[in-house]
Amino acid sequence: MPNVTHSTALVGIEKNLFRDELGENINFRPLHFVVGNSIIDAFITNQIDVAYVGPGPFINALYREIPVKLLANAANSGTVIVGNHQLEENTRIAIPQYGNTQDLILRIYLKRNNLLDKVKIIAIPPQDTGTAFFTMSIDAACLPEPWGTILMEKGISMLLVDEKSIFNNGIYPVTLLVANKRFMDRYPDLIEKLILAHNKANQFIAENPQEAIEITRSSISRISKKEINKEIIAKSFNRCVFNNNLDLNVLKEFKTLGIIAGYYKNGFKEQE
């Protein structure tokens, strides 16, 4: 996806880390998506075998009994709330998609601030939120980076809640590496190679931040067809942590909020 939070994937593709690990005999073909739940739908139709996706769509896949398995964490934090005024009753807040990661993170924040039942949540693709602010269709937005920083840098909105204040001091997953379970069972050796390439991509980001920022900028600009300033990507990078550390308790909290929101029924049990 064209997000800074997906830099592990973008860097791994651009630096040929996945291709090199998989070898010349394997057909490696990246596909780009705008929203996470579309990625999950692509698993159903066998368009993809492995994907980088947020916790929200991943949990949704488990609920729908789509055979996907968690392989690794990719990125943490990287979500902000921006807007024209502080969140209050009747505020209209945009999220990328109902049931996605930012939707669930926003609901956690609203619940803890006694606002969950007092605001209106609206699904709008991140690239279109600037237009929605101009037409006064929304008052705020909860977005993955770089889309929040873009709105702030353009003077369209201001920062209301930063990446650490929104939830758990910034220690929450925003991007996971997941796989089709059937593919995983059939090709365990390829899965091991993909995970190795994934680890190398995050290591490259840690050791070469400036090059990683430029790769991310050019990739997002190409995929989204919107030219993005390198300074914006650099600021967005500071809001993200790229590593394999994952707190499974946070995923359980996401699931609980999904049940409260009506996305999943009570009694939903995720796979082991």
Choice among 73-87, 192-206, 215-229 with the minimum mean pLDDT: 215-229
Task: Please report the pLDDT score of residue 4 as a whole number.
Answer: 94
Position 1 scores a pLDDT of: 85
149-197 per-position pLDDT tens digit: 999 999 999 999 999 999 999 999 999 999 999 999 999 999 999 999 9
| pLDDT single digits (tens) 233-252 | 999 999 999 998 888 888 88
Question: Which top CATH class is 4-77+171-261?
Answer: alpha beta
pTM of the model: 0.90
More confident residue, 49 or 34: 49
CATH of domain 79-170: 3.40.190.10
Q: Are 142 and 102 in contact (CB under 8 A)?
A: yes
What's the average model confidence in pLDDT over 102-111? Answer: 93
Q: Where are the domains of the chain?
A: 4-77+171-261, 79-170
- CA–CA gap between residue 212 and residue 221 (Å, rounded): 14
The half-sphere exposure of 160 on its side-chain side, counting CA atoms within 13 A, is 22
Position with higher pLDDT, 261 vs 234: 234
Fold: same for 4-77+171-261 and 79-170:
yes
Rounded CA separation 73/178 (Å): 9
